[in-house]
């Protein structure tokens, strides 16, 4: 009898661990947004999705980078955050 209770408790623990894993995986994806940042990149400008290390596209002019970011943000109903050359935020455009 004790052997059966022990296996049940391990089974219950295993089920709880699996539930915790799947619930945390779902919550992690909720936080991801499609906001586009127009940031200085070397001597040019770049569009970068919020949270990404890599850039989406590189442009010689800030205006062309803003236009590209607007197209992406419009598609995903997100925001465009425009940065100055020093990295501070200059403007935020909402496409909700």
Query: pLDDT confidence of 18, banded at 50, 70, 90?
Result: confident
- State residue 7's pLDDT score: 59
Kindly tell me if the per-residue pLDDT of 1 is higher than 50: no
57 shares its domain with 12: no
Under DSSP, the state recorded for 92 is E
**Six-digit token pair at 55?**
């850039």
Asked if residue 40 and residue 81 are part of one domain, the reply reads: yes
What is the overall mean pLDDT for the chain?
A: 87
Question: What's the average model confidence in pLDDT over 68-76?
Answer: 97
The residue segments making up the domain with residue 14 are: 1-31
Q: What is the DSSP letter of 82?
A: E
pTM: 0.68
Note whether 25 and 45 are same-domain residues: no
Residue 5 makes CB contacts below 8 A (sequence gap 6+) with: none
Phi, psi of 30 (to 5 degrees): -65, -35
């Amino acid at each position: 009898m004790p052997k059966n209770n022990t296996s049940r408790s391990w089974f219950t623990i295993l089920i709880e661990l699996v539930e915790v894993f799947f619930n945390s995986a779902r919550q992690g994806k909720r936080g991801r947004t499609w906001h586009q940042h127009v940031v200085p990149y070397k001597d040019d400008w770049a569009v970068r999705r919020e949270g990404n290390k890599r850039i989406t596209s590189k442009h010689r002019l800030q205006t062309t980078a803003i236009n590209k970011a607007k197209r992406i943000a419009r598609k995903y109903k997100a925001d465009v955050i425009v940065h100055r050359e020093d990295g501070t935020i200059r403007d935020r455009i909402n496409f909700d």
